[in-house]
Amino acid sequence: MTRPLIAGNWKMYKTPSEAEEFALELKKVTTYNDRDVLVCPPFPALACVRKILDGTNIYIGAQNVYPAKEGAYTGEVSPVMLKDAGVHYVICGHSERRQIFGETDDFISKKVKIVVEYGMIPILCIGETLQQNEAGETFKVVEQQLREGLKDISGVEITNVVIAYEPVWAIGTGKNATPQQAQIVHAFIRKTLKEMFGDVAADIRILYGGSVKPENIDELMAEIDINGVLVGGASLKIDSFSRIIGFNKVRSLM
Ligand code: PEP
């Protein structure tokens, strides 16, 4: 049984003072010990959020990393800096990084590798666009992103990697994949991981992301291969995020 992971990606929202206020609220409502909770604030808010959440069971994550220890890379942030800042998880290859900043599978694979090397957990994001979905290319796209993104990861290292399936057409659109649609892709991802790494695939956490909200969290989490969620918009408000964190696995009666 994998431990569920509920992760919030704040994207480019919340100033350090807003993040601080949110972290204080989050600390009050996160009282579970059968699930992991993670927040990924923007870089300037990492330090203050860490200070507030230190000693709790809420982890801190980064939304990005540059795949080098240090160097002349103006504007970038290294894994050493993140580690020292108390970061446990790093989102790698989010679709916004792929689409807006042109990140390739090869570049993303370097991020995944270096995050593991520095003792943190990468969350490798994969997922098809609407056009690819409509062309029936979902499995092909997801398999390629998975195999490429994990190409330098060993059978031992994979136990410290999280995968997030985020169909691009569902991110920030309010249009989520149904739990059944997501389950089919998650099962395919697990099958591919098994081909790549063997039986350890059963223990790899595969998160769903894309318009997760209080209204759909219980049904999503009831699916066998959905081991958690990566939440954007609904992680910015304490009411919606705390409801998502407090999920109860319930299957739809439909
Ligand atoms: C995300 O940012 O990874 C995401 C899934 O966003 P949203 O929940 O807003 O669709």
Domains of the chain: 5-252 (3.20.20.70)
Please list the residues that pair with 6 across neighbouring strands.
37, 229
- Mean pLDDT of the residues in the chain: 95
Residue nearest to atom 1 of ligand 1 (CA): 232
Does residue 108 have its Cβ closer than 6 Å to ligand 1?
A: no
- Going from the Cα of 10 to the center of ligand 1, the distance in angstroms, rounded, reads 9
Distance of CA 185 to the CA centre of its chain: 16
Our CA angle for 115, 183, 179, nearest 5°, is 110
- Going from the Cα of 231 to the center of ligand 1, the distance in angstroms, rounded, reads 5
Ligand 1 atom closest to residue 212's alpha carbon, by position in its atom list: 8
| Model pLDDT for residues 167-217, shown as the tens digit of each residue | 999 888 878 889 999 999 999 999 999 999 999 999 999 999 999 999 999
- Going from the Cα of 134 to the center of ligand 1, the distance in angstroms, rounded, reads 20
Q: Which contiguous run of DSSP H or E holds residue 58?
A: strand 58-62
Identify the residue whose tokens are 């318009």: 211
pTM of the model: 0.96
| Amino acid making up residue 98 | R
Q: Which DSSP state fits 37?
A: E
* Of 23, 232, 211, 40, the residue nearest 122 (C-alpha): 40
| Amino acid making up residue 111 | K
Active-site residue set:
94, 166
Mean pLDDT for the stretch of residues 148-171: 96
Ligand 1 atom closest to residue 95's alpha carbon, by position in its atom list: 3
Does residue 123 have its Cβ closer than 6 Å to ligand 1?
A: no
Tell me the backbone φ, ψ of residue 103, rounded to 5 degrees: -70, 135
Mean pLDDT for the stretch of residues 58-68: 98
| Amino acid making up residue 144 | Q
Tell me the backbone φ, ψ of residue 205, rounded to 5 degrees: -80, 125
Helix intervals (H) in 54-162: 79-84, 95-101, 105-117, 130-134, 138-149
Distance of alpha carbon 68 from alpha carbon 71, whole angstroms? 7
252: confidence class by pLDDT, cuts 50, 70, 90: low
pLDDT for 175 equals 81
| Model pLDDT for residues 124-142, shown as the tens digit of each residue | 999 999 999 999 999 999 9
Supply the angle between the helices 46-53 and 16-29 in degrees, to the nearest 10: 20
Q: Which contiguous run of DSSP H or E holds residue 23?
A: helix 16-29
